[in-house]
Structure 1
Amino acid sequence: MGGALSYINPLTVSGVCDFIILGDGMEVMDHVIESLRAYEGGCGRNELWRRLSENPCILVPPVDIKDGKLVRDLKIGRSLDLNGPYPVHSAWMTERGAFGRTLLLELQRGCARSCSYCTLPQCFGKMRWRKFEVIEEALEKITARFDVPQAGLVTPEAGDYPFLPQLVDRLIEKKIGVSFASLRLDRLSEQMITALAGSGRHSITVAPETGGEALRFGCGKKFTDDLILEKLAMAKNLGIDRVKLYFMIGLPGESEEDVAAMTGLCRRIIAETGQSLTLSINPFIPKPGTPWKDEIFCGKHTIRQKYEKIKKDMRTIVKKTPQLRLTGIKEAETEFNLAWYGYNESRKLAEYIESGITKLPESDRERTRTELGRFM
């Protein structure tokens, strides 16, 4: 396996995988294919594991883990040259897929910011982006062969892509609708909103993270309430009339005033912009590879108290009362537990599932933290 989890904590699935490609997979794909072809030719499973384990960017649990501990240092790929000979866009578009007839264009990886709760900066490497010419060439080739009604721009933060204005102009010129994987309020531009509205969209999703400005700045989201109001008013004037706001509770240093400030901020947004709001509220999960990885998870009792306060406070907004989407407490506990799984917990979970046991093994956060230190 591979993918996003392999950058953050590949040990979570180490108990059920023959091998895990760590991080950027394209650089090791030739070695993987060569090894698998040898296996198909009859070399045997043990020889397959041996061959794969020759590469430091491939974790092979049967070889690399003994008595629940890693026995060699490994490397997570975080430096792939995105302008190299690698796929730029998704391989297919189909109404039966999760993204329908949307062509996914990967513009960049990594992040130059330092949000304290986020896995992107440390786990996914420095910010790397594709040149506009590379994206343009790929777009020209695929639109010459297929009808592309919609393009989804895959980035950690669309506004940080240096060639975004040129790309959006080119997509509009080709009459291709635009959607963004991520929007950061302080980078939200009139061009981006106009492109969304022109694609038939009437809503955007942004993440203030918390109601209190000081705590928001501490998270790494360095924008004020006034800037939030300014950007959402602009969106309203350009045809966007619904906004989804992401908030977290249980953040390090959070006060009762910070929780109450969510309602105050929402009240201002509704009164001053007329936007209809949906709030997605999620407990803070300290995750590997983040500045806040060692912080506490507040637990179900505290989460429940904060949820009740937020629901009570939001009901005082009579006009356009925000809709609330609260992450389930059990779901949050499960996410925290899985985030810190090591090999032993992963193996035990597989055994539980095979035996029909529905509970989750408890993670050993300290042990997993030590083991993750073996990944460079």
Structure 2
Amino acid sequence: MPKIRLKEHNIIVKDLRQTSVLVGYCYPSTYRAGMTSLATHLFYEGLNRRVDTSCERYFRYDVPSPIRSLETSRPLKENHVVAFSLTWEEDVLNLLQMLDMDGIETLSENRGPESPIVLVGGPVVSANPEPYADFVDAFAIGEGDLVIHDIVDVVRDSPSRSDAIASMTEIPGVYVPSAGQSSVKRLIMDDLDDLFHPVAQIVPDVPDGTKLDPVFGKSLLVEVTRGCGYSCKFCMVGHICRPRRARSLDCLKEIVEQGLEKTPVRKVSMIGSSLGDLDGLESFASWIVSQNLQLSAPSLRADSITLELLESFVKGGQRTLTIAPEAGSERMRRAMGKGLDDEEIERAARLAKEAGYIALKLYFIIGLPEESEEDIIDISKMVKNLSDVSGLRITASINPFVPKAHTRWERQSQPGVEQLRERLRIVQNGLRDVPRVEVEGIDPRSARIQAALSVGDRSIGRVIHLAAQYGGLGGWRRAEKESGLRFLSLPSDTERHKAKLPWSFLVS
């Protein structure tokens, strides 16, 4: 843990004598992960543009203190609103630990009039907030760009904490677990061009490639698209973030121009799903690199790739192309709704080589519904073939299927941990002697916990509460045993498929 003050560009420190609402924006994971998230910059800059609000940041790891802000060391509990962004299910333990470390009651029912209001948003709770309901005063369901300001207005104008929370039930997209709302509408922004986009983004003054450097390096994060139009059966983004929306090229260029004036970087990192479907993406990428800027993008669909596009990314310094076949066989990809054929994936690998890439990263899922052993073997066959035809270094990321709320496979079971390990071994054995290939992936035990949290109801809050005290993978097993509740078996429980789903009150 660093003990010296971290130097950052574009931090904002307000005169608290001229503000009414103090917001602690919390990312319950590492500083690096939090600063790679566009949401951190969006809410930080957006809230601090308000004269009446001071927003400061908190992270669980790699900062001097998880409960003292980076800007002024403001104690977490001194904020009127403590707002968490929950991107990964298991980070709920970090969330509870941060509250507890500063004396904020972890159970919402135990908080008093002087306690901060605990607000949680992000993809995890926008799909299924119920496992976390015992700990949270209010959830932002869906895209929180605008609703965060409605929430701050309510906090500013309410005579008491309890009045503020009660008033939040009147805000569309806000779920207050104690209020017993029968339905909550998930917020989706219609026109991205009309939304605020952060341009004075925070940049840490640290050496490149260190643990405090963001994942994409020091760059301007530019949100190009939201949502996805493909609706693969396993994918939460393709279901709860529909429809796919994109910013116009004129808007994107304006963001880049303003951002480079205010953010001391020479790199643009595109953010969004289905980037390759953006009309004019080639033109936008070419425009960026023509200004001697570096450029990167996350995963691209194999069937949207062109040589011209890849050449722009290579000119911008990107050396690894990431694509997600998800399955080794065309049969399995059709079953999951992915819709890519082998020829399109092979073509993408060949184009990557021709454009000047040096590596491929491929994402696959094991343990899928309807999956056969032959489908697993086909993953190894595909990776080997792509290695042969491209000559590139390949990282194959093999990750277990996790059933997600609101997807078409929300009622499907996840295979047991040993079954997942055996399927992973089949892939590893098939690639053991293939040169230039590395296999990675998350621990099946972590995937099991993610799945239980994804499909659980409010009753598992007791397990979460205990696990936060114990920590680690073993802490979950101990918490399940002590609580007497079923937790790790939930993803394989066929009875849950017949019951009313805990998240059915959320509507689009």
TM over 0.5: yes
- Given the alignment, which residue of 468, 482, 490 partners 1:353? 468
Q: Which residue of 2 aligns with 1:37?
A: 156
Q: Which residue of 1 aligns with 2:105?
A: none
Mapped contact 2:201–2:263 kept (Cα < 8 A): no
1:170–1:290 Cα change, 3 Å: same
Q: Which residue of 2 aligns with 1:190?
A: 307
Task: Quote the Cα distance in structure 1 between the aligned partners of 2:185 and 2:387.
Answer: 48
Q: Where does the alignment leave 5 or more consecutive residues of structure 2 unmatched?
A: 1-119, 206-211, 481-485, 491-495
Task: Quote the Cα distance in structure 2 between the aligned partners of 1:127 and 1:280.
Answer: 26
**2:415 is the counterpart of 1:298:** yes
1:105–1:90 Cα change, 3 Å: farther
Task: Quote the Cα distance in structure 2 between the aligned partners of 1:185 and 1:164.
Answer: 15
Q: Which residue of 2 aligns with 1:83?
A: 193
Aligned residue type for 1:93:
V
Mapped contact 2:131–2:459 kept (Cα < 8 A): no
Mapped contact 1:49–1:60 kept (Cα < 8 A): yes
Task: Quote the Cα distance in structure 1 between the aligned partners of 2:176 and 2:399.
Answer: 34
Task: Judge which range, 9-18 or 349-358, deviates more.
Answer: 349-358
Mapped contact 1:204–1:240 kept (Cα < 8 A): yes
Task: Quote the Cα distance in structure 2 between the aligned partners of 1:301 and 1:347.
Answer: 26
Aligned residue type for 2:151:
V
Task: Quote the Cα distance in structure 2 between the aligned partners of 1:259 and 1:355.
Answer: 36
**2:396 is the counterpart of 1:279:** yes
Q: CA RMSD in A?
A: 2.3
1:349–1:192 Cα change, 3 Å: same
1:178–1:369 Cα change, 3 Å: farther
Mapped contact 2:220–2:263 kept (Cα < 8 A): no
- Given the alignment, which residue of 127, 134, 137 partners 2:244? 127
Structure 1 residue matching 2:364: 3-state secondary structure = strand
1:88 offset after TM fit, Å?
A: 5.3
Task: Quote the Cα distance in structure 2 between the aligned partners of 1:355 and 1:243.
Answer: 38
1:201 offset after TM fit, Å?
A: 2.6
Task: Judge which range, 267-276 or 289-298, deviates more.
Answer: 267-276
Q: Which residue of 1 aligns with 2:225?
A: 108
1:164 offset after TM fit, Å?
A: 1.3
1:50 offset after TM fit, Å?
A: 0.8
Task: Judge which range, 122-131 or 342-351, deviates more.
Answer: 342-351
1:367–1:24 Cα change, 3 Å: farther
1:12–1:80 Cα change, 3 Å: farther
1:105 offset after TM fit, Å?
A: 0.6
1:232 offset after TM fit, Å?
A: 0.7
Q: Which residue of 2 aligns with 1:67?
A: none
Task: Quote the Cα distance in structure 2 between the aligned partners of 1:330 and 1:85.
Answer: 39
Task: Judge which range, 277-286 or 265-274, deviates more.
Answer: 265-274
- Given the alignment, which residue of 323, 329, 332 partners 2:438? 323
Q: Which residue of 1 aligns with 2:284?
A: 167
Q: Which residue of 1 aligns with 2:54?
A: none
Mapped contact 1:79–1:125 kept (Cα < 8 A): no
1:144 offset after TM fit, Å?
A: 3.3
Mapped contact 2:230–2:338 kept (Cα < 8 A): no
1:326–1:25 Cα change, 3 Å: closer
Structure 2 residue matching 1:6: 3-state secondary structure = helix
**2:162 is the counterpart of 1:52:** no
1:257–1:81 Cα change, 3 Å: same
1:200 offset after TM fit, Å?
A: 2.4
Structure 1 residue matching 2:395: 3-state secondary structure = strand
Task: Quote the Cα distance in structure 1 between the aligned partners of 2:498 and 2:200.
Answer: 38
Mapped contact 2:310–2:355 kept (Cα < 8 A): yes
Aligned residue type for 1:108:
T
Structure 2 residue matching 1:277: 3-state secondary structure = strand
Mapped contact 2:365–2:399 kept (Cα < 8 A): yes
Q: Where does the alignment leave 5 or more consecutive residues of structure 1 unmatched?
A: 65-70
Q: Which residue of 2 aligns with 1:338?
A: 453
TM-score by length of 2: 0.67
Identity of aligned residues (%): 24
Task: Quote the Cα distance in structure 1 between the aligned partners of 2:449 and 2:470.
Answer: 19
Q: Which residue of 2 aligns with 1:68?
A: none
1:77 offset after TM fit, Å?
A: 0.3
1:348 offset after TM fit, Å?
A: 4.3
Task: Judge which range, 195-204 or 113-122, deviates more.
Answer: 195-204
Taking the TM superposition and a 5 Å limit, the aligned residue runs for 1:17-36 are: 17-36=136-155
Q: Which residue of 1 aligns with 2:379?
A: 262
1:14–1:191 Cα change, 3 Å: farther
Task: Quote the Cα distance in structure 2 between the aligned partners of 1:80 and 1:367.
Answer: 34
Q: Which residue of 2 aligns with 1:218?
A: 335
Task: Judge which range, 292-301 or 23-32, deviates more.
Answer: 23-32
Q: Which residue of 2 aligns with 1:181?
A: 298
Task: Quote the Cα distance in structure 2 between the aligned partners of 1:23 and 1:129.
Answer: 17
Q: Which residue of 1 aligns with 2:260?
A: 143
Aligned residue type for 1:371:
P
Aligned length: 365
Mapped contact 1:18–1:61 kept (Cα < 8 A): yes
Task: Quote the Cα distance in structure 1 between the aligned partners of 2:305 and 2:145.
Answer: 32
Larger relative contact order (C-alpha < 8 A, sep ≥ 6)?
Answer: 1
Structure 1 residue matching 2:333: 3-state secondary structure = helix
1:352 offset after TM fit, Å?
A: 4.6
